[in-house]
A and B are shown apart, each in its own frame.
Chain A
Amino acid sequence: MPQVMVVARNFMDMVAALPAAKLDMLYDSAFICEAVLRSLPPLAKKYALQMLYVSAPVAAAAMEEWVLDEYAAKHRVAIDRLLQLRVFVEVRDRRKEVSYKMNQKFQGNMQKYLVDGGSLPREPIPSSVTARLPTLAELESFALEQWECFLLQLINSSQVERGTSFSSSMMRTFQRGLLSSRDGEAPRLTENGFQFLLMETNAQLWYIMREYISSAEERGVDPTELISFLLELSFHTLGEAYSLNTLTDVQRNAIRDLAELGLVKLQQGRKDSWFIPTKLATNLSASLSDSSSNKEGFVVVETNFRMYAYSTSRLHCEILRLFSRVEYQLPNLIVGSITKESLYGAFENGITAEQIISFLQQNAHPRVADKIPAVPENVTDQIRLWETDRNRVDMTLSHLYEDFPSKDMFDQCCDYARDHGCLLWEDAKKMRLIVRVEFHSEMREFLRRLR
């Protein structure tokens, strides 16, 4: 069965897919320019910085001289990315030679940014109006609680707990690929849903944002405005209050949806309402590239397959239950075992061994994170072995043909089946062949025509 990786497509591919005019509109904002620059591969960043104060086009051939010959492929990847995002624009002169020029809007904004610094997307509300704002610690626990509630909603979607319900637009976002909902049945996590749960927080965030933006057109909302707002949001100052009055209708609706995920906290004053970005929001642009979050891990795996998770989070317990047998859940410690049976359950849900191992490594407790390896090798090897055990036998419905009257007829049948891509096996000596079961009727027709 083909593995559909949830992370195959990242957020910037969606930005790159925007039409040129809309991309240029995005670059009106210095913050979006910065977010885009940070999302580039390292070599492309270097090129962008080098071209920042060059206004004339530079010949493509001259740029190729910047890299060593053996790394021409890396150069090509970097240039393609800059062109896709329209950071660079292709220019052709009369002799049809290609040159690259930096997007003037992007260039102007970044120059201004380096020299003068950007102004904030919007000014915070003075503290005389907001009175008491939540502390950073309170804000962090709010964000974590909302986010975990969302993930728990995915895991236990059939049991609605705590009376929390998400808005219809957010539920539609869930159902795009993460939850299957057949009529009459309770919603169930899909393969993508299980894979999603093991992803890193920032990757999960961008996945949700991407689906949210994709579904925007169905709601009659311009995706460009949403993309712009989300990238801009990450440059607000953590913990400061910003008035809802400064937002457009689209942005105000988006803010209410984002509050449900814990990206912002909404508060009401006597006359005014405001939103406060949490760390989830300010991390958005930082996680566009494949950098790590500096989150501390909590899992220790021992060579005897015992697992100890130093966590107070119910979400962590549910995630670990996806691929291990949880035996005790103490107030700040989860004790479990990695067993063949629990892993088979995970594999059947579409989670791969590599995802489980990656999860354990990324969430390794600080005491073991610096060890090499962070997860004992006998454990990681065994997880992979159990997966390959399960993949050893692959069943395909098929049909066996034998007792051919002549070699010539056997050969023609083989060629016919092979041409249609349905030949599974052949034994020329004994003149036997096996085809896919759906091909049986066509094969019978072919045989009838041969006689």
Chain B
Amino acid sequence: MASSKLYSDDVSLAVVVVDTNPLFWATAALPFADFFAHLIHYVNSLLLLNHLNHVVVIAAGLSSCTYIFDSSDASASGAADVAATFAKASRKMDEFIAEDARATSSNGSVADGNAASLLSGALSLALCYIQRVFRSGTRHPQPRILCLQGSPDGPEQYVAVMNSIFSAQRSMVPIDSCIVGTQDSAFLQQASYITGGVYLKPQELNGLFQYLAAVFATDLHSRTFLRLPKTLGVDFRASCFCHKKTIDMGYVCSVCLSIFCKYHKKCSTCGSEFNRVMPDLNSVPDQRQ
């Protein structure tokens, strides 16, 4: 990989997934506008550190996801146009939130207070973007994903989220997690644990930028030298495939590893039957007689 040495060690691609769930932000301790300002300052600091750094921001709503910022679309002067960056991203975020609200209401589903944002969709968009970067050549920034998550986990997304996590692990893309809500996220704990990222739940949200700058702005090269926050425990619980609920104990299909909370005669995923009767060995001697 002689040619890759031409890129300096710290050139990074940071894909930031932002939870825009209005049901969460309506009651959050930190107003969304302040949170968004912290986010923009963080993005600008990444672009400040290296002119080849690349930042993408993906918004995750209740019913949809979209790219709201891509630094490679910016002008040649990059971070020098901070005010324009803020205005453009802010406008696009407003448009997305309105669009997502329309999509949610047109679904006909009445979202309850505990509705989850579409984390799996956002992770998929992030990984697709990173895959395109990988395919552009051997010389590319080192990619990582940062999830800024506030809403609770949606157990119905368990399979899709786990598939994204394993894809990221396979591509050696760390998933960092920053929890801005009150509850820990089992999904993101597992994501950061499996992919080698950093999981952090800040104590004081008013200092969010300091947490982002101190922990999540570090490039992958420098992380090997540093003491970074360690997760004390990971919630490894799974969701059942039949009811999409988090379970402590369950049944596993031995063929496709699908997880069920109750005994089933047949696997709903791969069709294996579980209730075949074993031959009665006692009948064999009778036949010989």
Contact = CB atoms under 8 A, between A and B. Distances in A.
A372 B225 contact: no
A113 B82 contact: yes
Interface size class on chain B is 35 or more
Nearest to A292: B6
B233 interface: no
Contact of A374 (B3, B82, B222, B224): B3
A291 B49 CA distance: 12
Interface in A17-57: 34, 37-38, 42-43, 45-46, 49-50, 52-53
B70 interface: no
A37 to B, nearest CB: 7
Contacts of B226: 43, 46, 66-68
A68 B227 contact: yes
Given A38-B50, A71-B225, A114-B82, A46 B217 contact: yes
Contacts of B222: 42-43, 46
A353 B229 CA distance: 46
Given A113-B48, A116-B82, A235 B77 contact: yes
B209 A53 contact: yes
A67 B221 CA distance: 13
B6 A45 contact: no
Contacts of B279: none
Q: Which of B1, B81, B224, B226 has the most CB of A within 10 A?
A: B226
Interface in B77-112: 77, 79-86
Contact of A45 (B10, B52, B81): B10
A373 B2 contact: yes
Q: Which of A45, A53, A116, A374 has the most CB of B within 10 A?
A: A45
Contacts of B224: 71
A45 B49 contact: yes
A121 B7 CA distance: 29
Interface string B1-32: 11100111111000000000000000000000
Contact of B80 (A52, A74, A118, A291): A118
A443 B79 CA distance: 69
B251 to A, nearest CB: 43
A46 B77 contact: no
B1 A286 contact: no
B181 to A, nearest CB: 24
Contact of B218 (A46, A116, A292): A46
A238 B77 CA distance: 8
Contacts of A114: 41, 44-45, 48, 82
B48 A372 contact: no
Contacts of B10: 42, 45
B194 interface: no
Contacts of B139: 292
Contacts of B50: 38, 45, 289, 291
Interface size class on chain A is 35 or more
Given A120-B80, A291-B7, A38 B227 contact: no
B213 to A, nearest CB: 5
Given A42-B222, A67-B225, A114-B44, A370 B3 contact: yes
Nearest to A49: B213
B11 to A, nearest CB: 7
Q: Which of B44, B75, B213 has the most CB of A within 10 A?
A: B213
Cβ-closest 8 pairs across A and B: A117-B82, A292-B6, A42-B10, A71-B225, A286-B51, A117-B83, A291-B8, A42-B222
Given A38-B51, A286-B52, A369-B3, 20 more contacts: A34-B48, A49-B49, A50-B213, A113-B44, A113-B79, A114-B48, A117-B79, A117-B82, A117-B86, A237-B77, A238-B76, A286-B51, A290-B8, A291-B8, A292-B8, A292-B139, A361-B2, A364-B3, A372-B2, A374-B2
Interface of A: 34, 37-38, 42-43, 45-46, 49-50, 52-53, 65-68, 71, 74-75, 110, 113-118, 120, 235, 237-238, 282, 285-286, 289-292, 361-362, 364, 369-370, 372-374
Interface of B: 1-3, 6-11, 41, 44-45, 48-52, 75-77, 79-86, 137-139, 209-210, 213-214, 217-219, 221-222, 224-227
9 contacts: A42-B221, A46-B222, A71-B225, A116-B83, A117-B44, A117-B83, A117-B85, A291-B7, A291-B11
